[in-house]
Structure 1
Amino acid sequence: MRPGVLILGLIMALIPTLADAHNCKCRNRGVMFQLGQTSCLKVDGGSYLARCEMKLNVSSWTKLQDGCPITDRVQTQSTRVN
């Protein structure tokens, strides 16, 4: 068998695998997240901040910190100009 045909066959076999890795996403409460995005996960009554990552060719959540960041709403007063 020619080496060129063997190499071409290997390349063709790897193309679907490479395409699948590009489309990996994580899911949290029905929402899809791209690799690298973070989300607040609520599990067993607790919550934590996690990042969507690849582990052993499987998309998975990696815990970043306990609890989730909370933002405070700033109350602004509107002033009327007469």
Structure 2
Amino acid sequence: MIKNTPEWEVRLTNPCSCTGIDIVLSCDGFKSLTPIDRSQISVSDKECSLINKLYGETDFVFKYVWAKEFDIKIKSGDIACS
């Protein structure tokens, strides 16, 4: 808890060896009492976009602080395999 407010963690896991690109998350109304790293994720009104690729067999994790948990899910993205 930060300032008596819960801290939530969002974890995207890429279990395959291919790379996830252009990953967009649904995050309608997303807010955080703590700053979100804008070099890692872009936040707009209803969507959040990963700035970087989600490389194979890795996780992308970010945390936010808010009174309630947001329903954040992958909305779209592509896969690149070599």
TM-score (norm 2): 0.27
Greater fraction of residues in helix: 1
Q: Whose radius of gyration is greater, 1 or 2?
A: 1
Greater fraction of residues in strand: 2
Q: Larger relative contact order (C-alpha < 8 A, sep ≥ 6)?
A: 2
TM-score (norm 1): 0.27
